[in-house]
Chains A and B, each alone.
Chain A
Amino acid sequence: MALKVLLAATLRKYIPSYDSGTGHSLEVPPGTTVRMVAERLEIPLDEVRIIMVDGIGSSWDTALKGDERVAFFPPVGGG
């Protein structure tokens, strides 16, 4: 099983091949933190406002087993 990384709004630009239907699959060893996932995908940490792991609000230090759904959300500014 791989991680399923879900990106919202402007964060999708960091993975040009991102598929909004399926998300982005990523193999990581158990114990990998959310921060390490973002760094590996070269997503600037300060552009992420919300982190959800399997639907639960999480932090950069949350450790993963490797088969979760990790979602990153940026702030938006339109009206």
Chain B
Amino acid sequence: MTSHLLQQAWTLDTAGQSVRVMDDEALLAWAAKNGLSPRQAQLEALENGVFPLRYLKNFQALTLEEQIRLCRSRVLICGCGGLGGVLIHLLARAGVGFLRLVDGDTFTASNLNRQWLCDTATLGQPKALVGKERVAFINPLVEVEAFPSLLDEGKADDLMRGTDLVLDALDNLPGRFLLAERAHRLGIPMIHAAVAGWWGQMTTLLPDSSTDLHQIYGKKRSRDAEEEALGVLGPTAAVLGSLEALEALRLLAGKASAYSGKLLYFDGESGRTELLSLEPM
């Protein structure tokens, strides 16, 4: 049956190279006809050397092998707000094969300044479910699950199980510490990012690394009123969400982490980005 799929491919000359490509329509039709998921169809195409046309501009930045790794990857995104909305858009477009979205919140007017999934049509709707719908629009080849509930101790392990990477896009410290602790215990890498006002930070916690969130937050376990009052600027969330998405693509493609053992600090007010070794102060 694969031969029927491959008959739909054609050759495109791009940047001096010939690439076999196929459009979404052919992949979706073949998946439906054979009772397979669209994700399985794109994997079948990729493994036979055919690039879905929508990933053409990934090509050369990513090898075919790396694109296959993205397609096989399963990622948990905790939080579908300022950081999460950016992650969901970028990872779906990049071709990460499976996204599990968690958020217990619904969209309100104060989300409109920065949360990409929040617009006048989605106000009042559950963030995780909107994320799932948006992924279907952006890239129907991606498999997506949505859990419109708060992350808690009872659910954390089940949500993480079977995933290759955990992305922290939460807005609170207890949730981040819970996520980091469980990810470490289950041996799953986690990328942490957080924002406030003009500022943001991120790091990557690999299972074998000795760094953890205590080195970032010290004894702090909750956001104080002064920090809440800083709000979050849209571009700050987009920058940190994008940096988190890039690090996710690095890890999923099998490249080295850029931020393991390091703290990236973004100061949108001065325009400077600092990258420092993460050691107990």
Contact = CB atoms under 8 A, between A and B. Distances in A.
A and B pair up: yes
Contact of B217 (A10, A57, A75, A79): A75
A6 B270 CA distance: 10
Given A9-B196, A9-B199, A59-B281, A77 B171 contact: yes
Interface in A36-79: 45-50, 52, 55, 57, 59-60, 73, 75-79
A73 B275 CA distance: 13
Interface residues of A, number: 23
Given A49-B216, A79-B195, A73 B79 contact: no
B176 interface: yes
Contact of B227 (A9, A52, A60, A79): A9
Contact of A73 (B84, B169, B226, B265): B265
Interface string A1-22: 0000010111001000000100
Interface in B173-210: 173, 176, 193-201
Interface residues on B, range: 35 or more
Contacts of A77: 171-173, 176, 194, 196, 217, 220, 223, 227
B170 A47 contact: no
A57 B270 CA distance: 16
Contacts of B173: 77
B274 A57 contact: yes
A19 to B, nearest CB: 12
B23 to A, nearest CB: 35
A79 B202 CA distance: 12
B83 interface: yes
Given A9-B197, A10-B230, A49-B263, A75 B171 contact: no
Interface string B262-281: 01010101101010110001
Given A9-B227, A10-B224, A78-B227, A57 B195 contact: no
Given A13-B226, A46-B219, A49-B216, A76 B263 contact: no
B16 interface: no
Given A9-B227, A57-B276, A59-B281, A79 B171 contact: yes
A60 B276 contact: no
A9 B263 CA distance: 17
A46 B221 CA distance: 12
Nearest to B240: A79
Interface string B136-176: 00000000000000000000000000000000011111001
B35 interface: no
A8 B176 CA distance: 22
A33 B276 CA distance: 20
Contact of B194 (A13, A59, A73, A76): A76
Nearest to A13: B226
A52 B194 contact: no
B199 A73 contact: yes
6 contacts: A8-B269, A10-B196, A52-B274, A76-B227, A78-B171, A78-B228
Interface of A: 6, 8-10, 13, 20, 45-50, 52, 55, 57, 59-60, 73, 75-79
Interface of B: 79, 81-84, 169-173, 176, 193-201, 216-220, 223-224, 226-228, 230, 232, 237, 263, 265, 267, 269-270, 272, 274, 276-277, 281
